[in-house]
């Protein structure tokens, strides 16, 4: 990185933004699960191909939203007691997505420490991969999204993610959390078997997981660190995308579009990122240099070609 951003924010303006609110975080989790439940219920009431595809899009979007809340918890922005922060996050977000916060945290913190370098595990894993090689035409990008919708790319990503997020450096004391995971899956699979719900699990969880969930993950990953980025400054090494309301629901849940702000201040929880953005926009260097894109459809697509 050639240049570092030096803010001139007042401490009294910046400090409140680091304050966490567990209730707001919990409400986000509750909202996402309610939307998933409602989507499943409506689809079952009016089941056809169109309602199922819509349900799969909504469920995948809310899976992605749950992963974003887990991301905040990775930075301990949920509960003050770290043990409960991790355990509850695992139960309501990460175990349903077939991994754990402890494994994800090891990867993600290295990503922050070594952003866009050979020591950044996210960067190293994606450089040279066809899907993350830009520029590409809109047609090529849309074709990649289509391969997610037919479960091809999502299945490859699932295998790739599970391989990446299994670290041999896990501390021995952390392995105790494996018991929670085992108990969780034993209970889940027992309930699915006893109630005869395996077909619903396949239709409304596993298929969206391997299609729309990973598709939205891919779009967000591209938006954060690929395309027309200069990588020569703190303010040009990641992208903030200002999304409209529909994009926020499907592509940018829980303010995740403010990714540049997150990299500058990872201790600021998601519900304070818009306020942080406003403060930073009053900084001359930030307003002139920061890579800010207007919209995913209207802006990001143009920057990838």
Q: What is the pLDDT of residues 130-152, one digit of tens each?
A: 999 999 999 999 999 999 999 99
pTM of the predicted structure, to 2 decimals: 0.93
Query: Phi and psi dihedrals of 241, rounded to 5?
Result: -115, 120
pLDDT for 106 equals 86
Q: Is residue 6 part of a domain?
A: no
Q: Is residue 3 part of a domain?
A: no
Q: With beta carbons less than 8 A apart as the criterion, state whether 61 and 253 touch.
A: yes
Q: With beta carbons less than 8 A apart as the criterion, state whether 72 and 262 touch.
A: no
The β-bridge partners of 293 are 241
Per the structure, the complete domain to which residue 181 belongs is given by 11-304
Q: Give the count of domains, the chain.
A: 1
Q: What is the residue-averaged pLDDT of the chain?
A: 92
pLDDT for 174 equals 59
Task: Kindly give, in sequence order, each residue whose CB lies less than 8 Å from that of residue 7, ignoring residues fewer than 6 positions away.
Answer: 264, 280, 283, 286
Q: Report, as an integer, the average pLDDT of 6-32.
A: 92
Q: Is residue 213 part of a domain?
A: yes
Q: Is residue 5 part of a domain?
A: no
Could you please report the per-residue DSSP string of 221-254?
HHHHH-SS---SBGGGSS-EEE--HHHHHHTSGG
Q: With beta carbons less than 8 A apart as the criterion, state whether 72 and 253 touch.
A: no
Calculate the CA 85 to chain-centre distance: 18
pLDDT tens figures, 55-73:
999 999 999 999 999 999 9
pLDDT band, residue 168 (cuts 50/70/90):
very low
Q: Which residue has the tokens 């009294």?
A: 12
């Amino acid at each position: 990185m050639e240049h570092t951003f030096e803010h001139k924010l007042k401490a009294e303006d910046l400090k409140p933004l680091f304050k966490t609110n567990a209730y707001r975080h919990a409400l986000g989790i509750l909202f996402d699960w309610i939307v998933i439940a409602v989507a499943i219920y409506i689809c079952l009431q009016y089941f056809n191909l169109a309602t199922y595809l819509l349900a799969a899009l909504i469920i995948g979007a809310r899976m992605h939203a749950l992963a974003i809340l887990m991301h905040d918890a990775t930075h301990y922005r949920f509960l003050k007691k770290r043990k409960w922060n991790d355990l509850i996050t695992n139960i309501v977000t990460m175990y349903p997505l077939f991994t754990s916060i402890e494994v994800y945290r090891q990867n993600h913190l290295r990503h922050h420490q070594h952003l866009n370098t050979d020591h950044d595990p996210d960067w190293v894993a994606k450089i040279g991969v066809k899907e993350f090689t830009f520029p590409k035409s809109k047609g090529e990008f849309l074709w990649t999204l289509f391969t997610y919708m037919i479960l091809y790319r999502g299945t490859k990503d699932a295998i790739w993610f599970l391989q990446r997020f299994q670290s041999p450096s896990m501390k021995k004391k952390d392995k105790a959390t494996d018991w929670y995971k085992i108990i969780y899956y034993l209970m889940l699979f027992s309930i699915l078997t006893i109630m005869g719900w395996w077909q619903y699990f396949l239709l409304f969880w596993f298929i969206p997981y391997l299609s729309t969930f990973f598709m939205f993950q891919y779009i967000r990953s591209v938006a954060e660190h690929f395309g027309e980025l200069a990588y020569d400054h703190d303010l040009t090494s990641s992208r903030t995308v200002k999304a409209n309301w529909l994009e926020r629901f499907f592509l940018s849940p829980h303010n995740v579009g403010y990714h540049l702000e997150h990299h500058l201040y990872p201790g600021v929880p998601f519900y304070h990122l818009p306020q942080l953005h406003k403060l930073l926009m009053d900084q001359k260097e930030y307003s002139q240099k920061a890579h800010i894109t207007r919209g995913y459809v209207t802006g990001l697509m143009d920057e990838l070609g």
